Structure 1
Amino acid sequence: MRFSALFLSLTLLTATPLLAQVPAPAPVQSKPVLLVGGTLHVGNGTVVPDAAVAFDKGRITYAGAQSGFSQDKSAFEVVDVKGQEIYPGLILPNTTLGLTEVEAIRATVDEREVGMLNPNVRALIAYNTDSDIIPTVRTNGVLLAQVTPRGGMLSGQSSIVQLDAWNWQDAAVKADDGLHLNWPPMVLKLNPTEDQMMVDRREKTRQQQLRELEQLLSEASAYRALPAGRKENLRLSSLSGLFDGSKTLFVHADYGKEIIEGVRFAKRLGVQKVTVIGARDAWMMLDFLKQNDVAVVLSRIHALPRRSGDDYDLPYKLPSLLQQAGVRFCLDYEGDQETAGSRNLAFIAGTAAGHGLTKEQALTAVTLSPARIMGVDKDYGSLEAGKSATLVVSSGDLLDMRTNNVTRAFIDGRAFNMTNKQTYLNQKFRSKYGMK
């Protein structure tokens, strides 16, 4: 009896913390679902009031006006979302989500490899589906992410994942979609008293890095032309997709000259698809980006201007300037606390909507545009018949932190558990003080 009582006490003590664990992934959709009455934001700029969205086996079968839906509703699980908004699941590019848990604890950070040139490094196999942060990001409508390595000059390969899975194999939507190149910064004299020899030494180091990078890409191009049956070289084979367009080269650069230099370098060596990440000086070279068909992943629009002579709101209105120029772009959440803070992706888009973009254009910048740039728009990014039923329902404007309130969410038609560590703590301390 004494042992039984002790065992019961220990069970009760450990039961409560278990409630805060990462929820199990949702099972495959078993019955057709029909959402009716809400306002549908397709993701391509179209808005449909009093809409109906039907999906079965993870695929959308109808998305449009409720008056145009002619199927027998008795065959569906009908969900009334009148007065609410229906959006595509948001897509988060260029993130360390699932690679970093607690930034101050090195053992929980697995986002980089040693060395400068690591094209064969795959972020996907390090992706941790049991991260406590992932459920908090899903709660704000982010349902897909491009998991991206950091460090070195050629960091490795990113992959697109959906955020409700048992393991990285189940999570993968598009494995190894591209390689990430941190373009070496231009060498500038840091201060008037700096010794010229130091400046020359830094420039020499930079030129050596670029020569090594060029040699690696040239070898990869030549390797690709070798006959079948060759002995596989993982470093070179991982780069082959750059030359046939199956992979994208993501060049991380902010300054104008660095962007131009990086794009021209890649094009000269035969890289088919180039996207610039960061691009805070993109406003200076709109014609160059458009003429070279270079897409942009904008980072840090919640930031101060880079130069004292810039407009005070330049980072905020940069998305609008790209939109007006016809440059393909999307938004990310790179910056301080980027992993935990990435749940605020919707509000980054909301800021852009307050500085020149319409709300639907801002929504496209975090849904259909990243899907197109990353090559998954056939299935994700907008709510259209035939595409994946990956969507969120909010009782308010998803892009406004004052009204954002996701009430339902589905990934590939699966209604996953939306609880997380933060919602658990909220309920816990509300109960302590008798709050509802």
Structure 2
Amino acid sequence: MKRIAISALILIAGLAGTSLHAGIAIKAEQVHTVSGEVIPNGIVLVDGDRIQAVGTAEEIDIPADYAVHETAVVTPGLIDARSVVGLAGMYNVPDDQDQLDTSAPIQPGLRALDAYNPSEGLVEWLRSLGVTTLHTGPAPGALVSGQTMLVYTRGDTVDDAVIRPLAGVSFTLGAGVSRHFESPGTRSKSVAMIRQAFEDARAYGRQDPDERPSDLGNQALLKVLEGELPALVHANTAVDIMTALRLAEEFDLDLVLEGAADAYLVLDRIREAGVPVLLHPTMTRTGGESMNAAFDTAAKLQEAGIPFAIQGGYEAYVPKARVVLFEAAIAAANGLGVDHALAAITLNPARILGLDEDLGSIEVGKQADLVLFDGEPFEYVSRVCKVFIAGELVSEECR
């Protein structure tokens, strides 16, 4: 009896090992690696949460115990370079609108981490359309609206979803700030208030760490001044873009421009400053400070050699967010081209956000965030049919 029991345990353990460790194989008519050439008749092997092998069907043998998924096209998981999803909700009611606090124009101590709802319907919606990673946080509209974060579009709690709890501090330049606050009323006052906030943070940083009082706002701005966090400056007009560049030079900031509708008017200045751009959604509504937004701005940034990514951004109306897949498709058709458009929502944002060691392309050793399409990704009739995050199938409804 003892020998039989031991044998049974060995068999059970062996079966459990097979169940736990068996990988998956993606067989695709095209593998868009983004970091390299498109692979026709390709295979991607996944072991656990990592990409194990990438190549043609002639080069790679699929292990017998691997689950096989066949598709027309596979791409890396899509990355929304800037969003408010998870703070702004799909129902557009006060209970799901945490994207902007208007009690004061400068609030760097606010954290997206404390408001993000991973169960928000918009998170699931974006995931089903191929978005596996979000850079989300406070919306533009305040001079300093708070701290952003990086999350996967999965998980039941914020702890399950979080990649990086602090990704940057959000700033806004432009006349639009005055819609939410009595002061500042002008651009000059806006910049003076931001400059004073930085000077106050500098003074705070010069105090003895053991004696200075706790101040969440100054602590956050000090991280920006010391280069620990980037300054994410939303600026659409050429005037405001140039102001952002001057502030970055004055305070030695790690600057990332957001929005940047007028970027094509100051391409040389942006390139000389070495500043990346999280470009407005291609189909953003034109008006006000974004009146010069254009379908071909992405192509002009690409031609100028400026690092950029396309963001989903924020809409004040339902459904509150744009889909970067659709935004990139329009940019592709307006001079950017398919390859660069796909990079603008995968590898480019991964590089700008410091995630490219793990995400953004289909390469051996990287995390297995993969999107399976039933046709070319930017074709109107193509659908996302399966989405994997870290090797886990998280969506399988064709949309």
Same fold (TM over 0.5): yes
Shift of 1:36: 2.2
Query: In 2, Cα distance between the equivalents of 1:398 and 1:236?
Result: 44
CA separation of 1:356/1:341 partners in 2, compared to 1, >3 Å: closer, same or farther? farther
Q: For this pair of structures, how many residues does the alignment match?
A: 373
Q: Is the 8 A contact 1:59 1:388 kept in 2?
A: yes
Q: Does 1:296 align with 2:277?
A: yes
Aligned to 1:34: 25
Match of 1:177 in 2: 167
Tell me which residue corresponds to 1:327: 306
> Does the residue aligned with 1:315 lie in a helix, a strand or coil?
coil
Which residue of structure 1 aligns with residue 227 of structure 2?
245
User: Which residue in 2 is equivalent to 1:79?
Assistant: 69
TM-score (structure 2 length as normaliser): 0.85
**Cα distance between partner residues in 2 of 1:415 and 1:330:** 26
Shift of 1:112: 1.8
Return the letter of the residue paired with 1:387. Answer: K
Which sections of structure 2, spanning at least 5 residues, go unmatched?
1-18
Q: How much has 1:401 moved relative to structure 2?
A: 2.7
Q: Helix, strand or coil for the counterpart of 1:68?
A: coil
Match of 1:370 among 349, 355, 378: 349
The answer to whether 1:127 aligns with 2:112 is no
Amino acid at match of 1:122: R
1:205-249 per-position Cα deviation (integer Å, ceiling 9, x unaligned): 543443232122123234345555354422112123323433111
Aligned to 2:368: 389
* Whole-Å separation in 2 of the counterparts to 1:186 and 1:343: 21
Change (3 A) 1:202 1:33: closer
Q: How many angstroms apart in 2 are the aligned matches of 1:29 and 1:412?
A: 14
Question: Does 1:106 find its partner at 2:94?
Answer: yes
The answer to whether the 8 Å contact 1:96/1:338 transfers is no
Question: Cα gap change, 1:224/1:112 in structure 2, threshold over 3 Å: closer, same or farther?
Answer: same
Q: Select which of 94, 115, 127 maps to 2:104.
A: 115
**What letter matches 1:58 in structure 2?**
D
| Alpha-carbon separation, structure 2, partners of 1:270 and 1:387 | 33
Q: Distance in 2 between matches of 1:175 and 1:394?
A: 31
Quick one: which amino acid aligns to residue 238 of structure 1?
A: A
- Compared CA separation, residues 45 and 256, structure 1 to 2 (3 A): farther
Structure 1's 340 and 43: CA in aligned 2 closer, same or farther, altered over 3 A?
A: farther
**In 2: Cα distance, 1:64 partner to 1:132 partner:** 36
- 1:173-322 matches, cutoff 5 A: 173-185=163-175, 206-231=187-212, 232-271=214-253, 273-303=254-284, 315-322=294-301
Partner of 2:7: none
1:29 CA drift (Å):
7.3
SS in 2 for 1:229: coil
Gap change, CA 1:242 and 1:332, over 3 Å in 2: same
| Structure 1 pair 37–182 and aligned structure 2 pair: CA distance change class (3 A) | closer
Aligned counterparts of 1:306 and 1:216: Cα–Cα separation in 2: 30
Check whether the contact 1:92–1:332 (CA below 8 A) recurs between aligned residues: yes
C-alpha separation in 2, matches of 1:171 and 1:361: 28
Which residue, out of 83, 87, 99, partners 1:95? 83
The amino acid of 1:408's aligned partner reads: K
Q: 1:323 to 1:260 in 2, by over 3 A?
A: same
In structure 2, what is the Cα distance between the partners aligned to 1:43 and 1:407? 20
What is the DSSP-based 3-state SS (H/G/I as helix, E as strand, rest coil) of the residue aligned with 2:31?
strand
- Report deviation, 1:186: 9.4
- Contact between 1:174 and 1:376, CA under 8 Å: does it hold in 2? no
% identical equivalent positions: 26
Distance in 2, matches of 1:282 and 1:291, equals 13
1:356 corresponds to which residue?
Answer: 335
Cα shift readout 1:318-373 (whole Å, capped 9, x = no counterpart): 11111001011111123535773645321111111111112011000011111111
| Paired position in structure 2 for 1:62 | 53
Cα contact 1:29–1:56 (8 A) shared by 2: no
* Counterparts in 2 of 1:245 and 1:64: CA distance versus 1, 3 Å: farther
For residues 29 and 41 of structure 2, the distance between their equivalents in structure 1, rounded to whole angstroms, comes to 5
Comparing 146-155 and 277-286, the one that deviates more? 146-155
Distance in 1 separating the partners of 2:317 and 2:355: 23
SS of residue in 2 equivalent to 1:264? helix
Letter in 2 for 1:143: T
Instruction: Kindly indicate whether the alpha-carbon contact (under 8 Å) linking 1:301 and 1:315 is maintained by their aligned counterparts in 2.
Output: yes
What is the distance in 1 between the residues matched to 2:240 and 2:157?
38
- Where structure 1 has 5 or more consecutive residues not aligned to the other structure, the ranges are 1-27, 188-200, 424-436
